[in-house]
Amino acid sequence: MTSTSLQNKRFQGGDPGFLGNPHGEPTLPARQLGTMITCGYPNLTPQSELDLAASIGAELLEILPDWRSFPDVGPLRRAAQDRGLRIRNVHGCWGGQSIKARRVDLGSVDAAIHRESIDDLRRCIDWLEAAGGTHLIIHPGGLSEADERQARRGQLARGLVELAELAAGGGMCLCVENMPPGVHPGSLMADLHDLVRELSHPAIALALDTGHAHISADVVGETLAAGHHLATTHVHDNDGRRDSHDPPGHGTIAWPAWAEALDRIRYEGPIVLECIRQLREDPSRFFHDVIAPLLGRE
């Protein structure tokens, strides 16, 4: 199916079995394009990051702070507002990219590491609020053994509930991201979906990373597994083996099929690119004709 035919079918509703619109439901609104940019990293100014975001037509932002320096978000927030760009997402600290914790692993069965992880992520929620954002992306944990799954699942659940209570008070949402292989639970979206459904907390949702999904399983199946709990995305391409964060169209993900999967679950959140370094190096790697159908636009 070409990009044009996919687009036309999406807005016309298509046949009764097409993409989650079997009962004459309203067509989905166009999704917004977002991109990840950084804050606080040496030699990367707010202006240069925002220039790149504007050049690809981004409407909203996800911020990746240098958590170890815990940068002041004020200058970036003001500069983004001046350009009409909205900070929606912030990527929380993880692993060694911590604030005060030795490492951040919300599924850790080490009580001290688990507590430090929660405390660092509480600081991330405070930073998100200062940024004027609404969604914090959280890793469910680090590399682990499969036989630790149940114990780690319990730790992850306890950490998410504590953090969600804080986030909900400020009108914010935690989005748990699917991981590459080796994270138990976390590499498969079905496991995360089951946990989020079980917790049933309004401030806990899911984030789909297309590159991770392409390596761990397949992007369409992982999207369908997320279902209505999906609140945001990390969008990038790869060859199915390496987490290379290539811009869409430079790997082997079938993007038209993913666009159909998004429609099938009636996803209305943003398409957030997570390939900022590659686009900095070569802005021409942004393929508008690949991105437009994901947004529901010509």
Q: How far is CA 25 from CA 13, 270, 293, 296, in A?
A: 9, 20, 20, 16
Q: Report whether pLDDT(241) > 60.
A: yes
Residue extents of the structural domains in the chain: 3-13+28-295
The residue type of 215 is I
Q: Average the pLDDT over 133-141 and give the result.
A: 99
HSE of 163, CA atoms in CB hemisphere, 13 A: 34
CA distance 215 to 112: 32
Strands (E), the chain: 33-39, 60-65, 86-91, 135-138, 173-177, 204-209, 230-234, 271-273
Confidence of residue 26 (pLDDT cuts 50, 70, 90): confident
Q: How far is CA 3 from CA 10, 28, 40, 260, in A?
A: 11, 17, 38, 11
Q: Report whether pLDDT(6) > 70.
A: no
Selection from 224, 250, 267, 248 nearest residue 31 by Cα: 267
Q: Average the pLDDT over 118-142 and give the result.
A: 99
**pLDDT tens figures, 163-211:** 999 999 999 999 999 999 999 999 999 999 999 999 999 999 999 999 9
CA distance 77 to 228: 30
Provide the token pair at 294.
């994901």
Q: pLDDT higher for 2 or 85?
A: 85
Q: pTM value?
A: 0.91
Q: Report whether pLDDT(17) > 90.
A: no
Confidence of residue 9 (pLDDT cuts 50, 70, 90): very low
Q: Report whether pLDDT(64) > 80.
A: yes
Q: Average the pLDDT over 216-236 and give the result.
A: 99
Confidence of residue 10 (pLDDT cuts 50, 70, 90): very low
* Partners of 236 in beta bridges: none
Q: What is the CA radius of gyration of the chain?
A: 18
Phi–psi pair at 88, nearest 5 degrees: -105, -50
Torsion, CA 208, CA 66, CA 83, CA 50, rounded to 10: -80
Please identify which residue in the block is written with the tokens 């067509």: 27
3-13+28-295 CATH: 3.20.20.150
Q: Average the pLDDT over 277-296 and give the result.
A: 97
The residue type of 92 is G
100-106 long-range Cβ contacts below 8 angstroms, 24+ apart: 103/142, 104/139, 105/141, 105/142, 106/138, 106/139, 106/140, 106/141, 106/155, 106/156, 106/159, 106/160
Phi–psi pair at 90, nearest 5 degrees: -130, 135
Cα 214 to its chain centre, rounded Å, is 14
Q: Average the pLDDT over 284-291 and give the result.
A: 98
CA distance 296 to 88: 20
CA distance 9 to 6: 5
What pLDDT, on a 0 to 100 scale, did the predictor assign at position 5?
33
